Each structure stands twice: as C-alpha cells, then as structure tokens.
Amino acid sequence: MVGDAIASKLIALGHEVMMGSRDAKNAKAAAWAERIGGRAQIGTFADTARFAQVLFNCTHGANSVDALRAAGEKNLAGKVVIDVANILPPAVRGPESLGEQLQKSFPEAKVVKALNTINCEVMVDPSKVPGSHSVFMSGNDAAGKSTARQLLEAFGWRDIIDLGDISNARATESYMSLWLALWNTLGTLHFNIKVVH
C-alpha cells in the first residue's frame, strides 16, 4: 500500500519509477505497473537499486534490513534512501531505530528518515488533512536531506521539520505509539500533528 501510494505519486510527478520486490514477477507490483502503464516498471530489489538515484524503503520495518541487503550494498552506495518504514508494535523496537540500523548496515547510502509519521494517503497528499500540519525528516547527509526535502515539497508538504542526524529517527519511530492511540481514538487514518511554537 505504501509503495503503491508513493510510486504512483512519483509517476504523477513525472519521474521514472521502478517498484522493487523480492520476486521480479511479484503479482501486486505487476498489477500496479499494468494499472499505471507507461513509465511504471517492476523488478527485483537489486534491479530497482541499480536503476534508481533515489530509493524509498516501503517494506515492513521488521524486514527492511533484509530487503536492502537483497538490493545489494554496492547498488545502494551514494544513493538517497528515504526510509518511511516503521516496526510495529513500537514496544518491540530495540534501543536503536530502524533508520539508524539501515544507516549502520549500509554506510555508503544516504539514509533519510521521513514520512513515517502519517498514513500513506496523507504522505503523498497532505491536503487529505485540513490546514497546516508537520512532517519530519532526519539524516546524516545534507545533500540527501535536500533531495528528500524537494520530494516532500513536490508531494505538497510545507511544514518540513529537519530534526538533525539519523539518531532522530528514534523520535519519529517512537511517536508511532501515540499515532496508534490517536488512530484508535479518532477513528480515521487521515490525521496528523502540527508542531506549534
């Protein structure tokens, strides 16, 4: 769902997009490519990592290190990896965030944690939630964050808060516990928080 939402938005914005899966013939990826047509491509994780300048990690957080290993460390070198994944439930998370684990496992990738604090429909269309609200990013590489910021702006985000280096992925991943409680309380996935000061 998350990969579909982001890949479709990137296509709409005019990008060349490949959706990577474990299996090059993944049925959901194939259905997506058929629905979109034109510039939509599919491939293995490794095909995708070779193809792209910028990668979105939309795998389940518990499987993300394995998925990026399958993509190939060499293929990730120098690439911006925007990590939108979470490990749920947040309670089972270790002291280190997924964002930090990815950066440590793939030191030559430019990992940027972003967009993991909202539902995927809101990620690619912030107007799904009324008024102004905030999105966070963190990462060690300034150029990687600049690329991520441009993409977030293209998605429609205006209040983009740079929390600093990738250790701050802990902050946004920990927020998932409050996000889940708010989803349960509000009864909608179309919500977010606005930082006010």
What residues make contact with a copy of itself under the rule CB under 8 A? Answer: 90-91, 95, 129-134, 136, 138, 161-164, 168, 170-172, 174-178, 180-182, 184-186, 188, 190-197
Q: What one-character-per-residue DSSP string does 110-179 give?
A: EEEEESTTS-HHHHT-GGGS-S--EEEEEES-HHHHHHHHHHHHHHT--EEEE--SGGGHHHHHHTHHHH
Distance CA 149, CA 82 (A): 11
- Which CB sits closer to a copy of itself, 62 or 180? 180
Contacts 24+ apart (CB under 8 A), 26-35: 28/4, 32/3, 32/4, 32/7, 32/8
Is the distance from CB of 123 to CB of 115 less than 8 angstroms? Answer: yes
Q: How far is the CB of 28 from a copy of itself (least distance, A)?
A: 29
Least spacing, CB of residue 59 vs a copy of itself, in Å? 23
Provide the minimum distance between the beta carbon of 44 and a copy of itself in the complex, in angstroms, as a whole number: 35
The nearer residue to a copy of itself, 142 or 195, going by C-beta atoms, is 195
Question: Burial level of 169, CB count in 10 A (0-12/13-18/19+)?
Answer: buried
We find the least distance from the C-beta atom of residue 42 to a copy of itself, in angstroms, to be 35
CB of 31 to a copy of itself, least distance (A): 31
Tokens representing 81 are 């990896």
**Least Cβ distance, residue 196 to a copy of itself (angstroms):** 5
- Using the minimum distance from each CB to a copy of itself, give the nearer residue, 132 or 146: 132
Query: Looking at the DSSP assignment, which residues form a beta bridge with residue 83?
Result: 57, 113
Which residue, 146 or 174, is less far from a copy of itself as judged by CB? Answer: 174
Select 75 or 168, whichever has its Cβ closest to a copy of itself: 168
| CA-CA-CA-CA torsion sign (2, 161, 175, 125) | negative
